[in-house]
Amino acid sequence: MPVFVSFRMKRFSKNNPKSFSDLVYAKTKLIPRGCVTTYGQIAQAIGKPKASRAVGNALNCNPYAPIVPCHRVVRADGKIGGFAQGAKAKAGLLAKEGVKVRDGKVVDFEEKLFVFGK
């Protein structure tokens, strides 16, 4: 007989982020459709400019997708970087939003780049 376990997901609130991951998710949620930003941009925006790798780790464990659109975060060189469902899935999601990817890199990266605070 199967056993069912109920997990209560922590409610995400962009108004009161508590952990490093919550700060990352709150900033990521602000990236507009059709744009991308970098792991480094998010790290700077949360006041941790050297934490771009930690930002990537937090996004890899994103329990709020697609509400928190982690697929819109790419590497500083415009390459799409990692994604829990694979690079092909990430490129597909970006394409649906009007962001073209060719050879694993965002086409017109500078034009598609969203910078926080602008």
Which amino acid appears at position 95 of this protein? A
Phi, psi of 57 (to 5 degrees): -65, -40
CA 80 to chain centroid: 11
Catalytic annotation, pick one of 70, 74, 80, 101: 70
Is 101 buried (19+), middle (13-18) or exposed (0-12) by CB count in 10 A?
buried
Active site residue 35: no
Residues labelled as active-site residues: 70
